[in-house]
Structure 1
Amino acid sequence: MDSMIITKVAAGVLGAWLVFLLGGWAGEELYHAEMHGEPSYSIEVASAEPEEAEEEVPFEELMAQASVDDGAKVFRKCTACHKVEPGANATGPYLHGVVGRDIASADGYEYSGALQGKDGAWDTAALNGFLEAPGDWAPGTTMGFAGLNKPEDRADVIAYLDSLDD
């Protein structure tokens, strides 16, 4: 191999390395990585440490404080499938008078086997469990709604549904 070729290759490699180093230095000068003073805002992220669980309020207390007006607002999610007029079934059964009514007993509605197999009435505890996670409370139900996570929302919806019954 000719010595001139070796010199050209070495010059190319060392020149590229020099450009890389100078580019890194220029980038550091333009964009400082260290902080200068206090940040104007901070973004909080979840810590790896588990948080202490909040004390859970008994559902009976939430029902005592439940708001019918707030329940009507939360119930708007349900109006895609349920009606509140007596006998007006839609994708789901009508919910007028549901509080205290036997489970799977709305006239003219064909319930899934999961709810037909349930005994009892739609009392506060049953509605709370069903509204929290319909698929867990009645495995195999055809209700596709995931549920209401907040116990306050469930209490408000139950209060709203209870207010519909004359």
Structure 2
Amino acid sequence: MLDTMTFTKVAGGLCGALLVFLLGQWAAEELYHVGGHGEQAYVIETGTEEVAEEVEEVDFEVLLASAEADRGARLFRQCSACHKLEDGANGTGPHLYGVVGREKASVDGFGYSDTLAGMDGAWTPENLSGFLESPRNYAPGTSMGYSGMRDIEDRANLIAYLGSIGG
């Protein structure tokens, strides 16, 4: 018959076996990883050298010249949640009618963050590309909540589309 003492002995035996198993696993890990992950002691020559990938610099002007405004129109759907294309119709963000070439923080009646209000110059395609890539890096302290558009071709297409609107 199963009584409390028998149950206690079985549970204690299982716990003890588990403890021995875990200690054995820990000891095996320590023995296997002796010396850390230093330099390899023996390297097999394969005849090929490891080559680091070269990051190819892409000229933004060339991409912009070959950009497709209709693809940019599809990309603008992300922007349309906060921005409007009609002249003078601000949303959460300022209207983007004629934004390419327009002076920064120049839309009347829109309350820009101090960072953007303090920037000089116009929204050139290169400036827009930098801002669209990462608004927080381009203008630290900006109130724009967009995380950024990483693909340079997408940025070029979007800027080509924005340039075709009211430009």
Per the normalisation by structure 2, the TM-score is 0.68
Letter in 2 for 1:101: R
What does residue 87 of structure 2 align with?
86
Helix, strand or coil: the match of 2:80?
helix
What does residue 66 of structure 1 align with?
67
What does residue 165 of structure 1 align with?
166
Specify every segment of 5 or more residues in structure 2 that has no aligned partner in the other structure, as ranges. 1-8, 14-49
Give the whole-Å Cα distance in 2 for the aligned partners of 1:50 and 1:72: 39
Give the whole-Å Cα distance in 2 for the aligned partners of 1:101 and 1:54: 32
Superposed displacement of residue 144, structure 1:
0.4
1:105-116 equivalence runs, <5 A: 105-116=106-117
Letter in 2 for 1:115: L
What does residue 45 of structure 1 align with?
none
CA distance 1:50–1:159, shift in 2 (3 Å): same
Q: Is structure 2 residue 58 aligned with structure 1 residue 57?
A: yes
Where in structure 1 do 4 or more consecutive aligned residues deviate above 6 Å? none
Letter in 2 for 1:102: E
Helix, strand or coil: the match of 2:63?
helix
Specify every segment of 5 or more residues in structure 1 that has no aligned partner in the other structure, as ranges. 1-8, 14-48
Aligned CA-pair RMSD: 1.8
CA distance 1:50–1:104, shift in 2 (3 Å): farther
**Of the two, which has the highest radius of gyration?**
1
Give the whole-Å Cα distance in 2 for the aligned partners of 1:51 and 1:91: 44
Give the whole-Å Cα distance in 1 for the aligned partners of 2:61 and 2:69: 15
Superposed displacement of residue 54, structure 1:
4.1
Q: Is structure 2 residue 93 aligned with structure 1 residue 96?
A: no
Helix, strand or coil: the match of 2:92?
coil
Q: Deviation per CA, 1:8-44: give whole Å up to 9, x if none.
A: x9xxx9xxxxxxxxxxxxxxxxxxxxxxxxxxxxxxx
